[in-house]
A = this chain, B = another copy of it.
Amino acid sequence: MLETVTPMKTEASDALSETAQKTEAEKRGRKASKEVRQLQLIEATIDSLAKRGYAETTMADVADGAGLSRGIVNFHFESKEKLLIATLQHMYDEYSAHWRTALQKAGDDPARQLQYLVWADFDRSICNKRKLAAWLAFWGEAKSRPIYQALSSSRDNHYQQVFINLCTTLKQSGGYAYEPQAIALALSAMLEGLWLRLMMGTEDTTRETALQAANAFLAAAFPKHYG
């Protein structure tokens, strides 16, 4: 159902973190290109955030997770704070590219576009325990750190505007009564809330049930388009 939506570079980085370092990344102690090493450290940071949370994520844990020595992070990133910002930026870019690709693949039909955006949100490459946990770790610190604030909401202004536009179009073609802004806000908030459930719910909420809930919303809000 979702296969056609899935992109892109995330496959490489995910595989790298799941199966330790492959042969493609040079083994421990050997040199690797700057970008590869930085990505490796960023992936190790996401691992640590997911496993230990923001407060317990240490430079030593990141270095150990990457199979490298203690001082290496301060060489590639100047400080712990800059490592975390780079990690957040990486996740933001990935999410952003992901929904834009999904939107592009949907074609011209607004109903189809909205459906694809919702599907994209629950795609395995984006929506897995590890990355959701990392997102939540950043969200928990965003309010007190202005630097995080802009990046920490993966669904940014642009994303929200696309939702509003789609809801406006659907309202006209379907003759619905609601305010597009309000429905768009309800919809994107629900998607974020479902993400929250997916990580905190013990097991009662799965990607499937979350997707069902999102589709139930679409069917209720746009009965002429999704029935």
Having A54-B55, A186-B214, one finds 11 other A-B pairs with CB under 8 Å, namely: A53-B141, A55-B55, A136-B140, A136-B142, A137-B140, A178-B219, A182-B212, A183-B216, A185-B205, A186-B213, A189-B193
A32 to B196, CA, bound (A): 40
- Hey, which chain B residues are within 8 Å of A183, CB to CB? 213, 216-217, 220
| Chain A contact surface mostly | helix
- Hey, which chain B residues are within 8 Å of A93, CB to CB? none
Q: Out of B52, B200, B217, name the residue touching A152 (CB < 8 Å).
A: B200
Q: Which residue of B lies closest to A177 (CB)?
A: B219
Q: Which residue of B lies closest to A160 (CB)?
A: B204
A214 to B185, CA, bound (A): 9
Cβ of A63 under 8 Å from chain B:
no
Q: Provide a sorted-by-A list of 15 A–B residue pairs whose CB atoms are within 8 angstroms.
A: A53-B145, A137-B141, A140-B141, A143-B200, A149-B200, A177-B219, A179-B212, A182-B216, A185-B205, A186-B213, A186-B216, A188-B193, A189-B190, A190-B190, A192-B196
The contact string, 1 if C-beta is below 8 Å from chain B, for chain A 188-204, is: 11111110110111101
- Hey, which chain B residues are within 8 Å of A221, CB to CB? 217, 220-221
The contact string, 1 if C-beta is below 8 Å from chain B, for chain A 51-72, is: 1111110000000000000000
- Hey, which chain B residues are within 8 Å of A119, CB to CB? none
- Hey, which chain B residues are within 8 Å of A139, CB to CB? 136, 139-140, 196, 200
Q: How many monomers of this protein are in the complex?
A: 2
Q: A53-B141, A55-B55, A193-B193 are in contact. Are A185 and B200 (CB under 8 A)?
A: no
- Hey, which chain B residues are within 8 Å of A188, CB to CB? 193
Q: Which residue of B lies closest to A218 (CB)?
A: B186
A204 to B213, CA, bound (A): 26
Cβ of A33 under 8 Å from chain B:
no
B56 contacts A144, C-beta separation under 8 Å: yes
Q: Which residue of B lies closest to A219 (CB)?
A: B178
Cβ of A209 under 8 Å from chain B:
yes
Cβ of A50 under 8 Å from chain B:
yes
B202 contacts A149, C-beta separation under 8 Å: yes
